[in-house]
């Protein structure tokens, strides 16, 4: 171990974007986990921390400084904490922290968002669903991330011919955008259980009609993957009624945003779910799917495990370091097996801990794993 730490065989540049609220707390824990596993696996990480979101707005006057985007583009992978908070809720839209996040995704062209939702055996009792429904759930949401209604034009707030104020947005997708995210979804399903469900609203929306047609065309190239379609309203119901029917889910931007959050609570807490945002060539963006939780920020109450698991996805999908990724994931499971829980996943009889202690326990589990190896 000492030899591998002294002579790393692989070196990567990692941009850290702690962001707002609990972001700095959870990113600090994930960084420690990355440094630990790197020392064991002969990896060197060169970390550079940059501002984004509300903290960047306070510091520079914009939610995504040009330097932050430049550093992120020049890195091998980007780890993000969380953005936003009550402090910035009433400012102009172009200055909102969430606008900075959308600009970051567009700037990195991370069009494919992978959001796993797994009910871990250790947390099945934390799920609001009945045990027989929640137990064994293991699904992956593949969400298109840089198109659709969040980016479509025209958009705005205007006054119509009757003098009434109106707000409008445009749900628009080009065939190219649908084609590339569909390929990602089929490839993902192929590596899982070979089932893909595409979610749309093709009975009403023209954008969804095109979406379904393109997905059907791409499906011809993947005869080994079973494709089905489902309307989004039914999918929202089925996720609660029978989530185990799903393996891989393909959705557009807005449907994926909503459905993946719904899937997260099936797993017990949004504080447990990581995500990976991938491009075709540049660095990926890895982040927990939870928000900045300003109500508990700075109180050592946050659950850092979603960010630690996002770091594992960074290792696997961003850097191709499969062994290191699996080690981090196993350390999280071992920590849960020992009964440690933050408040969001706590049940009677477990050990209630804060963010820092949960991080320390993950590091202890990592140490035990390396000794065993």
- Catalytic member of 12, 150, 173, 317: 150
Picking from 248, 133, 260, the residue whose alpha carbon sits closest to that of residue 193 is 248
Specify which residues 113 forms β-bridges with. 143, 277
- Catalytic member of 201, 222, 301, 340: 201
Residue 17, SS3 per DSSP: strand
Residue 217, SS3 per DSSP: helix
- Catalytic member of 58, 74, 233, 295: 233
Token representation of residue 11? 């070196």
Give the span between the Cα atoms of 289 and 267, in whole angstroms: 13
Give the span between the Cα atoms of 252 and 258, in whole angstroms: 10
- Cα separation of the two ends of the chain: 11
CA 89 to chain centre: 22
Q: Which is it for the CA torsion 28, 81, 320, 68, positive or negative?
A: negative
Give the count of alpha carbons within 13 A of 321, CB side only.
Answer: 27
Residue 348, SS3 per DSSP: coil
Give the span between the Cα atoms of 345 and 237, in whole angstroms: 24
- Catalytic member of 109, 261, 338, 356: 261
Give the span between the Cα atoms of 26 and 278, in whole angstroms: 21
Token representation of residue 303? 């659950």
203, 170 contact by CB (below 8 A): no
Give the Cβ contact number of residue 245 at 10 Å.
14
State yes or no: is 20 an active-site residue: no
State yes or no: is 261 an active-site residue: yes
Residue 162's H or E segment, with its range, is none
- Helix locations, the chain, DSSP H: 2-6, 23-41, 54-60, 66-73, 97-108, 131-134, 175-191, 206-219, 232-241, 253-266, 305-313, 322-337, 355-372
Q: For the chain, what's the residue count?
A: 373
- Catalytic member of 247, 257, 301, 344: 257
Give the span between the Cα atoms of 287 and 32, in whole angstroms: 16
State yes or no: is 89 an active-site residue: no
Q: Would you name the residues annotated as active-site residues?
A: 150, 201, 233, 257, 261
């Amino acid at each position: 171990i000492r030899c591998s730490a002294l002579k790393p065989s692989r070196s990567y540049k990692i941009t850290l974007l702690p962001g707002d609220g609990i972001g700095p707390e959870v990113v600090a824990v994930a960084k420690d986990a990355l440094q630990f596993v790197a020392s064991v696996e002969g990896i060197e990480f060169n970390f550079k921390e940059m501002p984004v979101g509300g903290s960047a707005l306070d510091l520079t006057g914009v939610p995504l400084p040009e330097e932050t985007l430049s550093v992120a583009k020049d890195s091998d992978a980007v780890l993000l904490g969380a953005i936003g908070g009550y402090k910035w809720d009433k400012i102009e839209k172009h200055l909102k922290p969430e606008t900075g996040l959308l600009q970051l995704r567009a700037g990195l062209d991370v069009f494919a968002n992978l959001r796993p939702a797994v009910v871990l055996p250790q947390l099945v009792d934390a799920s609001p669903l009945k045990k027989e429904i929640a137990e064994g759930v293991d699904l992956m949401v593949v969400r298109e991330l840089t198109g659709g209604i969040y980016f479509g034009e025209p958009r705005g707030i205007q006054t119509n011919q009757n003098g009434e104020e109106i707000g409008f947005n445009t749900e628009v997708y080009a065939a190219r955008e649908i084609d590339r995210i569909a390929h990602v979804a089929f490839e993902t399903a192929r590596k899982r259980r070979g089932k893909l469900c595409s979610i749309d609203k093709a009975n009403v929306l023209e954008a969804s009609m095109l979406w379904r047609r393109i997905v059907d065309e791409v499906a011809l190239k993947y005869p080994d993957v079973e494709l089905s379609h489902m309307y989004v309203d039914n999918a929202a119901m089925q996720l609660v009624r029978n989530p185990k029917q799903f393996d891989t889910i393909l959705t557009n931007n807005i449907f994926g945003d909503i459905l993946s959050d719904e899937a997260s609570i099936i797993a017990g807490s949004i504080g447990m779910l990581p995500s990976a945002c991938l491009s075709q060539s540049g660095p990926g963006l890895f982040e927990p799917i939870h928000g900045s939780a300003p109500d508990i920020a700075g109180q050592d109450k946050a659950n850092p495990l979603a960010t630690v698991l996002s770091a594992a996805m960074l290792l696997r999908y961003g850097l191709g370091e499969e062994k290191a990724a699996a080690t981090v994931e196993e350390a999280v499971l071992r920590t849960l097996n020992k009964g440690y829980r933050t408040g969001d996943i706590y049940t009677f009889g477990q050990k209630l801990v804060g963010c820092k202690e949960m991080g320390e326990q993950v590091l202890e589990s990592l140490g035990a794993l390396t000794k065993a190896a």
